[in-house]
Amino acid sequence: MKAVVNIEDVSKIIKGRKIIDSLSFQVNEGEVFGFLGPNGAGKTTTIRMIVGLIGITSGDIKILGSSIQSDFEKAIKHVGAIVENPEMYKFMSGYQNLLHFARMSEGITKEKIAETVEFVGLTDRIHDKVKTYSLGMRQRLGLAQCLLHDPKVLILDEPTNGLDPAGIREIRDHVRKLAREKGMAVIVSSHLLSEMEMMCDRVGIIQNGKLIDIQSVNDFVQEEGRLYEIEVDAPAQAEQAMKRLYPGQSIAINNQSIVVTIEKENVPFLVKELVHDGLNIFSIQETTRTLEDRFLEVTSGKEGK
């Protein structure tokens, strides 16, 4: 896989305070990269540095090999972005807005604009003034605006902020489609974990300006084994049994259940053993470990050190 965006040891100091501290990562072709972190961790600052809106104190950012600092025009040519809210000229129609931005890049035809409008599903309302648009429509127009010049890199800062579930789903589908079909590298930032889980291939976690972890979403969520919640009449006794069967495994007791991590093949064996011990089993449930659990695990862990 080809790396499209290279962040190389980037730091940003504002008024003596280190906002971003030696950040390095890369985003590959056809990949959706999630940029995750609590509010104020430096997500937006990093994104603004990638698109050249704010300067870089040290380090460099390269897009398809061109530095955003020394070769701005060549680098930014491949980037389409929405930074925070998709603010447009409200006194103009959606179409006029798109024309406006189309004039600023080379070789965008009327057909291309029409095609993009069709893609985001705004054909019916495109000639209305932007001030009459709903937030969801503005978000769609914002997406159209950054797709006009067929970018290799798509950057969306909090793209689902303030959208209703239907709008969130729509954006998610678009993002996945663009990455799969057009091979774009997509960078999405968010503080919403569930959203990231559904949208991204890899997730980088940033906290206090430092990148503390990058993992693929699947690895991230299911690191080892599967999680089963077993509802029994005597959890304490079940715990004893577990400790005997799988010494060293972590076992949690949750009300009337115990939560264990084991391989799927071992479930029938475990059930037999528990029944043999005279325990009554009411239910067995496989629970997926959510990104949220992992996220809290990772961030609190690092903070403690």
Partner 1 sequence: MISLIKNEWLKIFKRSGTYVMIGILVLIVSIAGAFMKYQDTRGSVPDNEDWKKGLEMQNASYQKELEEMGDMLPVDVKESYERTIAINDYRIENNLSPNQDYSSLSFIADMSSLIDFVGLFMIIIAGGIVASEFTWGTIKLLLIRPIKREKILVSKYITMLLFGGSLLLLLFVFSGLLGVLLFGTGGQSSPYLNYQDGTVTEQSMLFHLMKVYGLSSINMIMLATMAFMISAAFRSSSLAIGLSIFLMFVGGQVTQLVAMKYEWAKFSLFANTDLFQYFEGTPMLPGMTLGFSIIMLIIYFLLFQAVAFLMFKKRDVAA
- From 87, 183, 104, select the one nearest 138 (Cα to Cα): 87
Instruction: Give me the least distance between CB of 210 and partner 1, in Å please.
Output: 20
Is 144:154 a contact under the CB 8 Å cutoff? no
112 binds partner 1 (CB under 8 A): no
135 binds partner 1 (CB under 8 A): no
Is 202:217 a contact under the CB 8 Å cutoff? yes
User: Does the CA dihedral 192-194-197-199 come out positive or negative?
Assistant: negative
Instruction: Give me the least distance between CB of 73 and partner 1, in Å please.
Output: 4
CA–CA gap between residue 150 and residue 216 (Å, rounded): 26
Instruction: Give me the least distance between CB of 91 and partner 1, in Å please.
Output: 5
Q: What is the DSSP string of 38-102?
A: -TTSSHHHHHHHHTTSS--SEEEEEETTEETTTSHHHHHTTEEEE-SS----TTSBHHHHHHHHH
**Position among 9, 24, 40, 87 found at the interface with partner 1 (CB under 8 A):** 87
Burial class (CB in 10 A: 0-12, 13-18, 19+), 272: exposed
Q: What is the separation of C-alpha 2 from the centre of its chain, rounded to a whole number of angstroms?
A: 20
What is the phi-psi region of residue 266: left when phi exceeds 0, alpha when psi lies from -120 to 50, beta otherwise? alpha
**Position among 88, 98, 144, 154 found at the interface with partner 1 (CB under 8 A):** 88
144 binds partner 1 (CB under 8 A): no
11 binds partner 1 (CB under 8 A): no
**Position among 11, 22, 96, 261 found at the interface with partner 1 (CB under 8 A):** 96
CB atoms within 10 A of CB 236: 9
Interacting positions 37-76 with partner 1 (CB under 8 A)? 48, 51-55, 72-74, 76
CA–CA gap between residue 148 and residue 122 (Å, rounded): 14
299 binds partner 1 (CB under 8 A): no
Instruction: Give me the least distance between CB of 144 and partner 1, in Å please.
Output: 12
Instruction: Give me the least distance between CB of 97 and partner 1, in Å please.
Output: 9
Task: Between 13 and 252, name the residue whose CB sits nearer to partner 1.
Answer: 13
85 binds partner 1 (CB under 8 A): yes
- In degrees rounded to 5, what are phi and psi of residue 205? -105, 130
103 binds partner 1 (CB under 8 A): yes
79 binds partner 1 (CB under 8 A): yes
* DSSP H or E stretch at residue 296: helix 291-304
Q: How many residues bind partner 1 (CB under 8 A)?
A: 31
Interacting positions 151-210 with partner 1 (CB under 8 A)? none
Instruction: Give me the least distance between CB of 239 and partner 1, in Å please.
Output: 53
Binding site for partner 1 (CB under 8 A): 14, 48, 51-55, 72-74, 76-77, 79, 81, 83-85, 87-92, 96, 100-101, 103-106, 145
